[in-house]
Structure 1
Amino acid sequence: MKKLLMLGGTEFVGRAITEDALERGWDVTAFHRGRHAPPPGVRSVHGDRTAPGGLAGLAEGTWDLVVDTWSAAPTAVRDTARLLAGRAGRYAYVSSCSVYAYPAPAGRTEDGALVDGSPDAEATAYPEDKRGGELAAVAAFGDRALLVRAGLILGPYENVGRLPWWLNRIARGGPTLAPGPRDLPMQYVDVRDLAHWTLDAAEAGLGGPYDVASPSGHATMGSFLEACAAVTGGAAELRWTGPERIAEAGVEPWIQLPCWLPPGELHDHMFRADVTKALSAGLTCRPVEETVADTWSWLRSIGGTAPMRPDRSAKGLDAEREAALLGLGG
């Protein structure tokens, strides 16, 4: 039986990885702060990586694999990886495509230019923090470190506010701003596909960086929002609106219109990567309709309001600005 140490394991990516490991019959230990309960069947060890002596709960024990999703100060990854390097077989660090220097061209691969980062840095900015975490994992584990550079992550348990906002907005129905073009390609990964690939890749002994996202165009803004409309009852009237009009209105892509980036440099950077390496290593991506439907089922099961990470900004466009942009003001 494989033994997994999940650093976190109670929310979104960590929870999906934990559930996948349990389905494989693995022995799972979750090291977390105790704010949320991990799935049943997991052994919990409590600790705070940011506090003095916070790793005391990991002073003993051996594991085949450690999975780390840390997003803040790289020193937390450095200290944990150093502590475990002699007692764990492999270390998978869930990083981000944000580690690539902007602007990355369409077709960028894992060889693309990276932002600067340091394993000894305190928290600075998300891209630099993730790069520092990568360097910390490699410093301790060498080629036993797997760097999972995730793209936009969607799916059940989302605590960032992107897909849940769209689902709730479209469920309200009526004329709904749909940012175009309708055939604009998206690139993302379902959290469960990310989790499954991460455990498969680690079990296969893979190391180094992999960009983990669907092929660009696996979904489009059209198929994404139409899936949201279908699963929530079809009461929304999607009104496709061009990026020029959205820009003129001062609406902020990605934040006020989650998951959407207009054509151009930023879209190429985030949604046009070449993910052949991960696909060749077994990554499979479920249809966007399944991701949307399962997220809607989960959202309804918790009363419609998704949890939000305190370190992330609120997402979405308020109703008055949306109505004004659509010319519906009274």
Structure 2
Amino acid sequence: MRLLVLGGTEFVGRAFLEEALRRGDEVTVFHRGRHPAPSGVTALHGDRTEPDGLAAFTEGAGAGLTWDAVVDTWTGAPAEVGLAARLLAGRAERFAYVSSRSVHRYPAAPGLDENGPLVEGRADDTDSGGYERAKRGGELAALAAFGDRTLLPRPGLVIGPGENVGRLPWWLGRAARGGPMLAPGPADLPLQYIDARDLALWTLDALGRGLGGPYNVVSPRGHTTMSELLEAVVRVTGGVAEPRWTDPKALVDAGVEPWMELPVWTPPGELHDTLHCGDVSRALAEGLRCRPVAETVAETVADTWEWLCALGGQAPQRPDRPPLGMAAEREAELLARLPAAH
């Protein structure tokens, strides 16, 4: 497949580049040049937010290129998705806009599928207007240009090597520090996630088979649990941390901010149902496969730890996302006064 990736040198975008190269695809990447692209790709440079930022497609070596498919991972203003999609509509067969399950109105009922109610969004919006509206507007912009040739993968929690948001890297860093570690209960809390590499593999395959429309692309409900995740984190970092399982209500009553202070975790309730209880049967029927969080050769936790160690233990941080995690002093204070879960 001749593939164009718009923004492909960090986390999700880079996973697309690397998986496409492994498949033997002919890959072009359009990016700002702030991070090196992997060898083996054709690189076009530009900043889509600037005037004439897409000139690389109309001038020089990029002017005559065509593609079987385009993947766009943009998270900013929907209007930028529209500009690129309109420019490429006659030069590419299919267009995948990597969206999010966040386009569904909150709270999302357990088992909600792709047909659930959506947030408002505008394809021509020049302001992101918040993540949910930006992603919905991006969907509409892609659809306006490519119609039924548009694929809309909607991931939920995305983790894996290269993560620059800070969820799994924070837990790995915390476990590597050792000692008693606040573990938010219940231990058997089911989680849904997608390894960025599995998201890329499924999307590339779906593009090759001509699929279109929205798909929830995340693991099945209960694919792993909070205890399985933290046990894997402790194991790969050397087993020096001691998880202390703590009652979720006690954490909430103490003012702990779910998802942010203790990344990945949400207590049972509306937020958990929205983030970890989506229906993914449509994507599963179309071949979605999600690697286990641990205990396989290509496991998510160990691979992320290996990547993190290669960087000296410090993961990159997206400038448009707040740092995640809990300060050591606050964790120690909570461990000292909150009862352990029973």
| TM beyond 0.5 | yes
Question: How far apart are the structure 2 equivalents of 1:115 and 1:248?
Answer: 30
Task: Return closer, same or farther for 1:215/1:23 CA change in 2, 3 Å cut-off.
Answer: same
- Alignment of 1:321 with 2:333, yes or no, is no
Aligned length: 328
Question: How far apart are the structure 2 equivalents of 1:260 and 1:210?
Answer: 24
Q: Which amino acid aligns with 1:27?
A: E
Give the drift of 1:328: 7.1
Question: How far apart are the structure 2 equivalents of 1:87 and 1:43?
Answer: 16
Residue 117 (structure 1) aligned to one of 107, 115, 121? 121
- Measured against aligned partners, the alpha-carbon deviations of 1:3-60 in whole angstroms (never above 9, x if no partner) come to 1111011000000000111111111111000000111111110000100000000122
Question: How far apart are the structure 2 equivalents of 1:103 and 1:67?
Answer: 29
Residue 96 (structure 2) aligned to one of 92, 98, 101? 92
Question: How far apart are the structure 1 equivalents of 2:8 and 2:40?
Answer: 12
Question: How far apart are the structure 1 equivalents of 2:23 and 2:323?
Answer: 35
Question: How far apart are the structure 1 equivalents of 2:24 and 2:225?
Answer: 36
Residue 291 (structure 2) aligned to one of 265, 270, 286? 286
Residue 259 (structure 2) aligned to one of 248, 254, 263? 254
Equivalent runs, 1:68-107 vs 2, <5 Å? 68-107=72-111
- Alignment of 1:297 with 2:297, yes or no, is no
- Measured against aligned partners, the alpha-carbon deviations of 1:75-101 in whole angstroms (never above 9, x if no partner) come to 000000000001101000100000000
- Alignment of 1:218 with 2:223, yes or no, is yes
Q: Could you tell me which runs of 5 or more consecutive residues in structure 1 were left unpaired when the two chains were aligned.
A: none
- Alignment of 1:308 with 2:328, yes or no, is no
Give the drift of 1:302: 1.1
Partner of 1:25: 24
Q: Which amino acid aligns with 1:225?
A: L
- Measured against aligned partners, the alpha-carbon deviations of 1:98-155 in whole angstroms (never above 9, x if no partner) come to 0000111000000000000011012210000000000011110011100010110000
Question: How far apart are the structure 2 equivalents of 1:69 and 1:283?
Answer: 19
Give the drift of 1:62: 0.7
- Alignment of 1:7 with 2:6, yes or no, is yes
Question: How far apart are the structure 2 equivalents of 1:321 and 1:244?
Answer: 17
Q: Which amino acid aligns with 1:304?
A: G
Give the drift of 1:212: 0.3
Partner of 1:52: 51
- Measured against aligned partners, the alpha-carbon deviations of 1:266-313 in whole angstroms (never above 9, x if no partner) come to 110110001000011000010101100000000001111000110001
Question: How far apart are the structure 2 equivalents of 1:314 and 1:185?
Answer: 24
Q: Which amino acid aligns with 2:97?
A: Y
Question: How far apart are the structure 1 equivalents of 2:266 and 2:285?
Answer: 27
Q: Which amino acid aligns with 2:326?
A: L
What SS is found at the alignment partner of 1:326? helix
Question: How far apart are the structure 2 equivalents of 1:242 and 1:72?
Answer: 37
Taking structure 1 as the reference length, the TM-score comes to 0.98
Question: How far apart are the structure 2 equivalents of 1:257 and 1:106?
Answer: 22
Percent identical among aligned pairs is: 64
Partner of 1:144: 149
Task: Return closer, same or farther for 1:328/1:170 CA change in 2, 3 Å cut-off.
Answer: farther
Question: How far apart are the structure 2 equivalents of 1:298 and 1:211?
Answer: 27
Residue 229 (structure 1) aligned to one of 234, 259, 274? 234
What SS is found at the alignment partner of 1:288? coil
Question: How far apart are the structure 1 equivalents of 2:112 and 2:328?
Answer: 37
Runs of 4+ in 1 over 2 A off after TM superposition: none
What SS is found at the alignment partner of 1:95? coil
What SS is found at the alignment partner of 1:234? coil
Question: How far apart are the structure 2 equivalents of 1:185 and 1:25?
Answer: 36
Question: How far apart are the structure 2 equivalents of 1:217 and 1:53?
Answer: 46
What SS is found at the alignment partner of 1:79? helix
Question: How far apart are the structure 2 equivalents of 1:237 and 1:39?
Answer: 38
